[in-house]
Structure 1
């Protein structure tokens, strides 16, 4: 009795070891699922695995949100099969089921995708991994800037707004001033408007006071950048002119004139013998001429 129990325990332990070895022998190397797919484009999914020395491939299965939509079982009469699932339809697949291409995406195509690979009996080792896919509805136009003026003066307040086109997910907006990211204090909290079809419009306001540094390189340039992950990148830029404050040029000219007068006056004061009426050569010449003419007349 004791020997039988011991033999069963050893057999069970051996089965566990074999199971662990089998599971470790099959390895899932890589799963590729595009994180963002534009609406109306094809998504390509890829799953790579490595079998152990004694493993034989039993099946490759693809799931979306926990529901199977494609499988590849080499030993079946129909090795590859598709299963109906809203928004998911396999257009093409590789001979071993490792790569599948879906028909042009609709909004329902988005979700969590999982690849599951299994080995043959008796242990049926199985490995799997998952990744999320978001379907992107791209805006039909770039960001729009409103509220800007043709000209600004030092001290004026810039209050402009940037509005994205309708998209899903929401577009991310960012402001740039003269090519540099606008300070966070100048950008207000973005607002979102959601429509019945699930699309969204994002708005972001920019508010700051014009300073001399904004015109050091010429006109003031305001740019709004709209992005959606790595699949959408559009911008709109406006260039506005700067005006000097009233009286600024005139006061500068007056100050320059006063400076020149000061320099002339300072130069005159630096002479060692100031000129007087009696010591002027011209005055002495006139006096001598007048005396000479008087003598001749007499």
Structure 2
């Protein structure tokens, strides 16, 4: 970087003199044009070395009325110090931090849209908590960082947040049964409880025993009455049998950073196979009958336990 900029200075300023074979006298060389070139290259050099001031901005994409949202702005001033850090909502300043103002380094402007509280303030970041959110809190949030004298270099980063008027509700499971046979194809539909939130669609996912279901077992659908499509689970009963006869199915609904769930325990009847008829022994017919009765009773008990 430094060598490149030095070469640019040589070409821009001294190039025509070098072609003549001599260097200029300083009082003749320091013209306005040459000074402007040097200043411009100096600015390019400083900006290139300093890098970005704002290195991280976190604003949740969605929030809900009466709820809380966390905003965070991270910065890197390298060799210089912070002059000020400001937060804006839709162009209006609501938070200001000026370390050099010893009597009042922090200024928080009261607002009917939200209540502001500092969570973290150090040499790398400022994190705020917005509580008692209203619908009016939707919009653009900008963090502005200004470096200390002499550069007063300024950088800003912006992100948007939508505040929903209705709380997020868990999804609904449709067509679920208490117990299935091993030959059944288990079909359960999962859909949002409400219509799309102001045009913002939540994401639906299926999980089986804590792991996301394979794509071959899930399918999107639309019943026509809802503008938000659902997600159905298509699971062979043998998959549950292989897991021991029961499996925990979870439909997960996500909107932004908020996630809600609906659960269903899938149970499949495990059929017992008797080999008494092909087993050759010296047992009497009466003994065989007793064995069959015991196996039927055991099978009945297992089915009753699955229904509990």
On whether the aligned pair clears a TM of 0.5, the verdict is: yes
Kept in 1: contact 2:240–2:267 (CA 8 A):
no
The yes-or-no answer on 1:139 pairing with 2:168 is yes
Aligned twin of 1:172: 203
Aligned twin of 1:8: 32
Q: Displacement of 1:106 after TM fit?
A: 3.3
Separation in 2 of the partners of 1:165 and 1:180?
24
Q: Displacement of 1:8 after TM fit?
A: 0.9
Q: Secondary structure at the match of 1:72?
A: strand
* Cα gap change, 1:180 to 1:98, in 2 (>3 Å): closer
Separation in 1 of the partners of 2:232 and 2:32?
74
Q: Secondary structure at the match of 1:189?
A: strand
Larger-gyration structure (1/2): 1
Aligned twin of 2:156: 128
Give the unaligned 5+ runs of structure 2: 1-26, 283-308
Separation in 2 of the partners of 1:194 and 1:7?
76
Q: Displacement of 1:242 after TM fit?
A: 1.3
Separation in 1 of the partners of 2:33 and 2:210?
73
* Cα gap change, 1:72 to 1:226, in 2 (>3 Å): same
Separation in 2 of the partners of 1:152 and 1:95?
56
Kept in 2: contact 1:144–1:236 (CA 8 A):
no
Match of 2:234 among 183, 193, 207: 207
Q: Secondary structure at the match of 2:265?
A: strand
Q: Displacement of 1:71 after TM fit?
A: 5.7
Alignment TM-score, normalising by the size of structure 2: 0.58
Q: CA RMSD in A?
A: 4.5
Kept in 2: contact 1:144–1:162 (CA 8 A):
yes
Q: Secondary structure at the match of 2:31?
A: helix
The yes-or-no answer on 1:116 pairing with 2:136 is no
Separation in 2 of the partners of 1:192 and 1:82?
48
Paired residues, what number? 245
Q: Displacement of 1:234 after TM fit?
A: 2.2
- Written as runs of structure 1 = structure 2, the 5 A alignment for 1:40-51 is 40-51=66-77
Q: Displacement of 1:36 after TM fit?
A: 4.6
Give the unaligned 5+ runs of structure 1: 263-298
Give per-residue Cα distances to partners, 1:140-194, cap 9 Å, x unaligned.
Answer: 3x33322123332232232221233337453333334466543322311154989
Separation in 1 of the partners of 2:80 and 2:182?
78
